[in-house]
Amino acid sequence: MKRKLFSAVLGVFAMLLLMGAAAVPERPAAALLAEEESAVLVDITLETDAKLFNAKLAQSVLAATGLDPLAVADAAEETANSVPTGDETLLIDGQPTPLTLGKHMVGSTTYVSLDVMAQLLDPSAQVGWEGSSLTVTANGLSLTAQLGQLYVVANGRYLYVPELVQGSEGGQVSVPLRTVAKAFGAAVNYDSATKVTSVTRGSGAIQSGDSYYDQEDLFWLSRVIYRESGNQTMEGQMAVGNVILNRIADPIFPDTVEGVLAQKNQFSTYASGVLAKTDPSQASVIAAKLVLDGGVVEETRGALFFDSGVNSWASRNREHIATLGGHKFYG
What pLDDT is attached to residue 187?
A: 97
Q: Which CATH superfamily is domain 213-330 in?
A: Cell wall hydrolase SleB, domain 1 (1.10.10.2520)
The Cα 44–Cα 34 span in angstroms is 16
Q: Taking the CA atoms of the chain, what radius of gyration do you get in angstroms? A: 33
What pLDDT is attached to residue 5?
A: 42
Q: What are 78-118's pLDDT values in tens digits?
A: 544 544 568 999 999 999 999 999 999 999 999 999 999 99
The Cα 141–Cα 206 span in angstroms is 7
Q: What are 250-280's pLDDT values in tens digits?
A: 999 999 999 999 999 899 999 999 999 999 9
Under 8 Å between Cβ of 135 and 147: no
Longest dimension (CA), the chain: 114
Under 8 Å between Cβ of 2 and 74: yes
Residue 269 per-residue DSSP state: H
The Cα 33–Cα 42 span in angstroms is 11
CATH fold, domain 87-210, is: Copper Amine Oxidase; Chain A, domain 1 (3.30.457)
* Extents of the domains making up the chain: 2-82, 87-210, 213-330
Residue spans of the chain under pLDDT 70: 1-85
Helices H / strands E in the chain, number of each: 13, 16
What pLDDT is attached to residue 22?
A: 45
What pLDDT is attached to residue 4?
A: 45
